[in-house]
């Protein structure tokens, strides 16, 4: 079902407004259950079409779509910046990453293969030969968040097409325009419309209908744990890939390069106004260097330039809406009421929150326990590496962790003992490239993204055995 057909079928629209000033950016259809029925019916046909596409055709479509996104880079960047929370410079970086994700997907399409099996390892099977292969699961439902409205869509769409699936994308209702523009690039690249469909609407109204439908073989979701738990309860027996956020610990040991650590931590704490699943939130610092690191971070927090997102000099924009900003301010207030001290920022109104650092954060505070998803980070003094590791592991979510140290033994101990989907040494938890496996443990979700690893999630194994 094309977007135009969805628009005709929908009886209402959603207004997409710039969180910076509330101005209208555009409108999209507000789909209902009748539209979902048509979309999923088309997706079944799309899965048949996609499965039958030769690998070289999948590669060509993905490469062409990547080239079209690159050609339209500035238009994509302006869309990302206007509908969402990123500055124009941050938006341009996201477009570049999307191009890379699609090109990686094209390359990985040629590597969706299996291996031979030595059946004669069992007595009586000497005359058998065979192999295993990977096959597409069929129809994939992808539900994506607002903070990376283009590249996180590409991380689901690219691997799905590379592995011969059809995909229905339900983008966040606050930032649907980037996903629609990406689908248009794929259409212009020659992809059959039924292979990739974007359906827009309120998650609570259409999300259940999508994920619970038996025609959907897999659900790939990026978002918060409460919604993730709801999807798990309604999905039934199907494949799930869930990325549910984090409360990332960044350990700074007494032998760290403090200037380098402060630069990386400030970027990771305040980039995209902290609305990032890899956001630096818990800064766990050995006491001998707490004062020096705090001073360095306060200076960097005060240098962050807030302003209009389309201004080339702006470093940080607003939060996605007023409710999100109020929640972040409430988390900061909770930390101070329990004994923490705001040493930078802390203020804000409407959709804006200042870059905020809280010192001596109490370990029972919301800032210590929850994902803040905003430009606030806390400093947690510790007396030893043992205590730092215990504190790092105290959170329920475990996506990325980081450690800053000049001692290889200490770094490798953190790698071994901190529970996380990734441990970054001498850079912040915010570091990621699009080719790496990406996902968490504990409450941070199930499965892995990163193009090659997402393809594994989006395929099933079939064994072929020939009795000669």
Residues with catalytic function = 243, 277
CA distance 163 to 159: 6
CB contact at 8 A, 118 and 348: no
Structure tokens at 227: 């919604």
CB contact at 8 A, 84 and 147: yes
SS3 75: helix
Element (H, E) at 50: helix 33-52
Hey, how many other C-beta atoms are within 10 angstroms of the C-beta on 245? 24
CB contact at 8 A, 16 and 174: yes
Backbone dihedral angles phi then psi of residue 353, each to the nearest 5 degrees: -135, 135
CA distance 18 to 91: 14
**Closest Cα to residue 156, out of 467, 457, 464?**
457
CA distance 402 to 420: 10
Q: Both ends of the chain: CA-CA distance in Å?
A: 46
Beta strands in 297-444 (DSSP E): 341-344, 356-359, 376-382, 397-398, 400-404, 422-425, 441-442
Residues 6+ apart with CB under 8 A from 74: 92
Scan for tokens 């105290």, then name that residue. 394
Question: What secondary structure does DSSP assign to 332-364, as a single string?
Answer: HHHHHHTT-EEEE-----TT----EEEES--TT
Q: What is the DSSP letter of 127?
A: T
Element (H, E) at 467: strand 459-467
CA distance 430 to 147: 14
Structure tokens at 300: 């960097």
Residues 6+ apart with CB under 8 A from 30: 10, 11, 12, 13, 14, 200, 201, 202
Question: What secondary structure does DSSP assign to 267-293, as a single string?
Answer: HHHHGGGG-STT-EEEEEEEGGGHHHH
Sheet holding 128-136, edge to edge: 115-117, 128-136, 459-467
Q: Which pairing describes strands 280-286 and 422-425: parallel, antiparallel, or unpaired? A: unpaired
The total number of residues shown for the chain amounts to 468
């Amino acid at each position: 079902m094309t977007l135009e057909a969805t628009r005709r079928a929908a009886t209402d629209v959603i207004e997409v407004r710039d969180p910076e000033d509330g101005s209208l950016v555009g409108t999209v259809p507000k789909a209902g259950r009748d539209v979902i029925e048509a979309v999923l019916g088309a997706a079944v046909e799309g899965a048949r079409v996609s499965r039958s596409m030769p690998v070289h055709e999948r590669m060509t479509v993905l490469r062409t779509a990547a080239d079209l996104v690159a050609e339209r880079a500035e238009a994509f960047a302006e869309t990302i910046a206007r509908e969402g929370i990123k500055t124009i410079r941050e938006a341009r970086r996201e477009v570049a990453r999307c191009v890379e994700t699609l090109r990686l997907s094209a390359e990985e399409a040629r590597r969706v293969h299996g291996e031979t099996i030595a059946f004669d390892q069992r007595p009586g099977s000497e005359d058998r030969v065979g192999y295993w292969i990977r096959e597409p699961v069929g129809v994939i439902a992808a539900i994506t968040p607002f903070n990376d409205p283009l590249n996180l869509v590409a991380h689901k769409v690219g691997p799905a097409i590379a592995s011969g699936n059809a995909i229905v994308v339900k983008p966040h209702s606050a930032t649907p325009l980037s996903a629609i523009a990406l689908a248009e690039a794929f259409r212009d690249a020659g992809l059959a419309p039924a292979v990739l469909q974007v359906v827009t609407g309120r998650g609570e109204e259409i999300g259940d209908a999508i994920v619970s439908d038996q025609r959907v073989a897999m659900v790939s979701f990026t978002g918060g744990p409460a919604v993730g738990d709801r999807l798990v309860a309604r999905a039934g027996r199907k494949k799930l890939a869930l990325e549910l956020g984090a409360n990332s610990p960044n350990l700074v040991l007494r032998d760290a390069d403090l200037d380098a650590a402060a630069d990386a931590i400030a970027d990771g704490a305040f980039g995209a106004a902290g609305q990032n699943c890899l956001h630096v939130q818990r800064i766990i610092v050995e006491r001998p260097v707490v004062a020096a690191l705090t001073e360095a971070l306060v200076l960097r927090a005060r240098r962050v330039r807030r302003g209009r997102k389309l201004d080339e000099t702006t470093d940080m924009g607003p939060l996605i809406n007023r409710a999100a900003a109020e929640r972040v301010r409430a988390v900061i207030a909770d930390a101070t009421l329990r004994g923490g001290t705001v040493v930078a920022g802390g203020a804000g109104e409407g959709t804006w929150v200042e870059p905020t650092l809280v010192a001596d954060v109490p370990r029972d505070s919301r800032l210590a326990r929850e994902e803040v998803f905003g430009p606030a980070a806390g400093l947690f003094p510790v007396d030893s590496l043992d205590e730092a590791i215990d504190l790092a592991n105290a959170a329920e979510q475990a996506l990325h962790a980081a450690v800053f140290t000049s001692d290889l033994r200490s770094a490798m101990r953190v790698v071994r003992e901190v529970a996380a989907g990734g441990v970054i040494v001498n850079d912040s938890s915010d570091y990621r490239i699009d080719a790496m496996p990406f996902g968490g443990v504990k409450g941070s979700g199930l499965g892995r993204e990163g193009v090659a690893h997402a393809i594994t999630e989006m395929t099933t194994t079939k064994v072929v055995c020939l009795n000669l």
